[in-house]
Copies of this chain bind each other. A is one copy, B any other.
Amino acid sequence: MTTLPTPNIAPENVLNNLRETKPESVTIVCLSGDMDKAMAAFIIATGAASMGMRVTMFFTFWGLNMLRRKGSTSNVKDWLRRLFGLLNRGGADTLPLSKFHFLGAGTAMMKKVMKQSKMPGIPELMDIAQDLGVRFIACTTTMGLLGITKDTLIDSVDQYAGVATYLSEAKNGSVNLFI
């Protein structure tokens, strides 16, 4: 007569297995084009990626500005969207602070402090994020609204997608932020 092995089904073990297999991932919706909020987003993204978490960033509305090539302008036909494209041009290096922008003086001051503190700026943080495997997704719905075409965005965009892609990623995420 053979003895059956006692199955190890203590709840703690099941829990531990789950914790190990649970995909630890972070998703960040970047709607804001403000420098301070972008900095927070990228500090969290690079921090999580360096801790081994899977990180996906979704850029929508003014957040898309970070993905724009420096100085590129929209080449859509209608003037309405072309105007939005113009207002929004500049790229990751030209984001204003959400507070104390003071027509650029406050933002310039903050950049000077960051340089003095050897703190990376948004373009540098974006490079670090890419190196660490953070995925950049550009929201196609708002690209259409704001007159932003693919050829005006930087090469490091990993995917062009909509809300379904975001949700299928976020529903398995452990940390989902809207910034």
Contacts and interface: CB of A to CB of B under 8 A. Distances in A.
Chain A's interface: helix, strand, loop or mixed, by majority? helix
Nearest to A33: B99
A176 B155 CA distance: 31
Given A40-B29, A176-B175, A179-B178, A17 B15 contact: yes
A29 B179 CA distance: 10
B31 A40 contact: yes
22 contacts: A7-B7, A9-B9, A11-B17, A12-B21, A14-B14, A15-B17, A24-B171, A36-B62, A40-B178, A47-B166, A51-B164, A51-B167, A80-B112, A80-B113, A83-B109, A84-B113, A87-B106, A110-B145, A117-B145, A171-B174, A173-B174, A178-B179
Interface of A: 1, 4, 7-9, 11-12, 14-15, 17-18, 21, 24, 26, 29, 31, 33, 36-37, 40, 43-44, 47-48, 51, 53, 60-62, 78, 80-81, 83-84, 87-88, 98-100, 106, 109-110, 112-114, 116-117, 119, 141, 144-145, 147, 162-164, 166-168, 170-179
